[in-house]
Amino acid sequence: MPDFLNPTAIGIAAAATIPPLVALYFLKLKRRMHVVPSTFLWKRTVEDLQVNSPFQRLRKSLLLFLQLLVLTAGALALGVPMCERVEQREQTLILLVDQSASMNVIEEGNKTRLDLAKERAKQAVADMPAGSRAMVIEFCDRAAVAASFDTDKRALSSRIDAIEATQSTTSLGEALSLAEAYSQNVIIGGTEEGKDVAPTSAAPDATVLLYTDGRITDGDRLAVERLKVEAMEVVAVGARTDNVGILSMDTKRHYERPDVLQVFASLRNFGPEPVRLDASLYINDAFVDNQGVELEGFVLPEGAPDAVLTPPTPGSAKSIAFDEVNFNTAGVVEIRLRVDDALTADNRAWCVVEPPRNVRLLLVTPGNFLLEEALGCLPVQLEVMLPSAFEAAVDAGDAKVMDGERCRYDVVVMDAFSTAKLPQGNYFFWGGAPKIDGVTTGAPIRDQRFFDWDDTHPVLRHVPVAAVDAFEWLDLKVPVDATPLIKGQSSPVLAHLTRGASQYLICAFSLIVQDDAGNPMLNTFWVTKPHFIVFLQNAVQFLSSSLMSKGVLGAPPGQPVTIPVPPKAAEVAISRPDGQTDRVPSAGFNTVHYARTRATGLYRVDPALPGHEHFAVNLFDPVESHVAPRTKIAIGAETVQATTTEQPTNRPAWPYVLLAMLLVLSLEWVVYNRRVFV
């Protein structure tokens, strides 16, 4: 229904014109009497000559109906009618369709958010004016062109329908880069300086339509150069907010009893209502144990901004643990949440567990018999390597040291050696430090004592630090997120630091140093004490027990996985969670890289080396699990207000009403003339 800017004028005009018109049809004309030979040619007028009274009964009249339409149209035009309609956009459209994990949420009508986004994208294509063109870009953790610029609406709609859902994270940067690359005008380089030629048919500015639920992690870090952010339209899809997700999972074997397994997981409720659910443990698809979990609802504090990632409110996040699980073989450990919520991708998590074994430890040293003998007292599989050999093996990707992107050894002890060539792993530095951001070493510090220490940390358990001393140690500087375990008077002596899937235990002093004459000398008498072995055992146990499932035989969605290939295998068959199988040729290499990991679940490899028959892909992303749509999206320095539908605009409709009035008036004139003239 149209809206009227001046409805009062409609009433006034109708009251002033319509009643007089109807009254005229009640009146009859008085004519003089004439004698005619016959009334045969006067049948149309004889009705008016029946009586001479001034009034008559109102009869059906086409003229009256047409004249009433003319007056009604004129009155409506005076009321200034306005109609809502979706504005036709520029001649060039770029449609960005989010296909990340949160777009799998099932909304009202049993449609996913991606289904809703595709419907609205197809409607935008259908509303394009003649001669317009559009392109479609699909994006999640990476972006791809689903349809290049085309004017064929049917072809564009078909390509939109072909966009598939993924369970990956959301990143907009690559999608906007593609949009800018495809929309920029091409400049042809001239033969002389300053003689570049612009194309004669320069492409018009493009209108960008973004269909998403708003959980974009990199929006505020984007640098948009060519596209007009203020002209960008964001259409938010979805309404559900209820979801519980698994945010992390960890498995470890008991240090002294390797056949005993412990399983840990962290859960969070992102919905506003409290939730009670069951968390079940499965090993090789067989039920093992169950725990009941109660989580409070998540309510955004009043006045707090709706950020992409918000911390949990009290009671909305909890950790669960399954202890003393007897499992003395290799297999797949799974946690399942029995809950009916918006997103299913984060209700299950998998971890591939290796068979029980002793810790594999690598000592990288130029030669230190004291440290080698001490480590040999531990229940570990010890190997020794020179620093130069270790760096060469990392550079070459040697399978003896490397397992894909991760170090094959559970713990690597670096003796008097600093390096930047550190694959993912657990490292224990003596008299050296990892060459990573925030960690530096300076000149040796002498004649100081240990000032403070944290004897509650697992590494220093049952270690009398007060009885430990060293003649000198490096001036160690660590970032603020590092944990100092032993402090000197001016710098930390022992610190723990985590970076991604790697962790570093850094001891600033060496066991053996050189005196002023260049001869080796003992830097500490700690190596002669029994609690030195206790310290080494604590350190190795602490580092080796922190192997994360996603860092060993798993990956987040969309991240490529490196798979070792058995000797003489021409190809590797990888069975995906959806039941499809991909075959990857080895081309004679010892490893293959597999990138079709956008679905969470368990992937099976055949043929495979022992221990590499499976790998897991887990979501573990609080941004995707927080499914509540966002209405304000940061794109660079700008904030774009999202809408839930295509925004209509008001357009004046009175010219069309006047045109209709003129058409009816013309028809009335024709009818009148056909009736009057005989």
pLDDT of 551: 34
pLDDT of 16: 76
**Alpha-carbon torsion angle 472, 477, 482, 483, nearest 10:** 30
Position with higher pLDDT, 304 vs 214? 214
Quick one: pLDDT band at residue 15, thresholds 50, 70, 90?
confident
pTM over 0.75: no
Q: Which two tokens stand for residue 234?
A: 């964001």
Measured CA to CA, the distance from residue 656 to residue 412 in angstroms comes to 81
Angle CA 414–416–419, to nearest 5? 60
The fraction of the chain above a pLDDT of 70, given in percent, is: 84
Instruction: Work out the average pLDDT over 510-525.
Output: 88
Query: Looking at the predicted structure, is the pLDDT value of residue 90 above 60?
Result: no
pLDDT of 80: 72
pLDDT of 552: 44
Residue 473 corresponds to which amino acid? W
Instruction: Work out the average pLDDT over 520-536.
Output: 92
Instruction: Work out the average pLDDT over 326-353.
Output: 93
Measured CA to CA, the distance from residue 93 to residue 96 in angstroms comes to 10
Residue-wise pLDDT tens digits, 390-410: 999 999 988 889 887 789 899
Three-class SS of residue 615? strand
Three-class SS of residue 252? strand
Which range, of 4-18, 346-360, 370-384, averages the lowest pLDDT? Answer: 4-18
Question: Does residue 214 contact residue 236 with C-beta atoms inside 8 Å?
Answer: yes
Position with higher pLDDT, 75 vs 136? 136
pLDDT of 78: 73
Instruction: Work out the average pLDDT over 359-381.
Output: 91
Angle CA 213–216–219, to nearest 5? 130
* Long-range contacts of 5-12, Cβ-Cβ distance < 8 Å, separation of 24 or more: 5/79, 5/80, 5/81, 5/82, 6/78, 6/79, 6/80, 7/79, 9/75, 9/78, 9/79, 9/80, 10/75, 10/76, 10/78, 10/79
pLDDT of 69: 75
Residue 560 corresponds to which amino acid? P
Instruction: Work out the average pLDDT over 559-567.
Output: 86
In our burial notation (b when 16+ CB lie closer than 10 A, e otherwise), range 605-638 reads: beebeeebbbbbbbbbbbbbbbbbbbeebbbbee
Which is nearest to 632 in space by CA: 57, 234, 68? 234
Measured CA to CA, the distance from residue 371 to residue 511 in angstroms comes to 8
Q: Which two tokens stand for residue 662?
A: 């003129």
CB neighbours (10 Å) of residue 176?
A: 28
Sheet containing 502-507: which strands, arranged edge to edge? 380-385, 359-364, 411-415, 426-430, 502-507, 492-499, 483-487, 452-453
Position with higher pLDDT, 261 vs 267? 267
Instruction: Work out the average pLDDT over 339-346.
Output: 94
Which is nearest to 251 in space by CA: 458, 544, 619, 564? 544
Helices (H), 127-258: 153-161, 173-183
Residue 208 corresponds to which amino acid? V
- What's the chain's average pLDDT? 84
Q: Which residues contact 144 (CB under 8 A, 6 or more apart)?
A: 137, 138
Cis peptide before 274 (omega within 30 of 0): no
**Alpha-carbon torsion angle 521, 526, 530, 536, nearest 10:** -100
Which is nearest to 544 in space by CA: 250, 281, 326? 250
Question: Does residue 639 contact residue 632 with C-beta atoms inside 8 Å?
Answer: yes
Quick one: pLDDT band at residue 12, thresholds 50, 70, 90?
confident
Residue-wise pLDDT tens digits, 434-487: 999 999 999 999 888 898 999 889 899 899 999 998 999 999 999 999 999 999
pLDDT of 1: 60
φ, ψ at 122 (rounded to 5°)? -65, -35
Q: Which residues contact 516 (CB under 8 A, 6 or more apart)?
A: none
Measured CA to CA, the distance from residue 669 to residue 281 in angstroms comes to 86
pLDDT of 550: 34
Position with higher pLDDT, 677 vs 488? 488
Q: Pairing mode, if any, of strands 359-364 and 380-385? A: parallel
Position with higher pLDDT, 242 vs 187? 242
Instruction: Work out the average pLDDT over 85-114.
Output: 84
* Long-range contacts of 328-333, Cβ-Cβ distance < 8 Å, separation of 24 or more: 328/258, 328/259, 328/355, 328/356, 329/355, 330/354, 330/355, 330/611, 331/283, 331/284, 332/283, 332/284, 332/285, 332/602, 332/614, 332/616, 333/251, 333/261, 333/263, 333/281, 333/282, 333/283
pLDDT of 514: 84
Question: Does residue 216 contact residue 95 with C-beta atoms inside 8 Å?
Answer: no
- CA 572 vs CA 210, 295, 404: distances in Å: 39, 43, 16
Query: Looking at the predicted structure, is the pLDDT value of residue 348 above 90?
Result: yes
Quick one: pLDDT band at residue 201, thresholds 50, 70, 90?
very low
Which range, of 112-116, 122-126, 242-246, 401-405, averages the lowest pLDDT? Answer: 401-405
First vs last C-alpha separation in the chain: 43
Question: Does residue 506 contact residue 478 with C-beta atoms inside 8 Å?
Answer: yes
Query: Looking at the predicted structure, is the pLDDT value of residue 229 above 50?
Result: yes
Question: Does residue 362 contact residue 412 with C-beta atoms inside 8 Å?
Answer: yes
Measured CA to CA, the distance from residue 564 to residue 238 in angstroms comes to 42
Q: Which residues contact 10 (CB under 8 A, 6 or more apart)?
A: 4, 75, 76, 78, 79
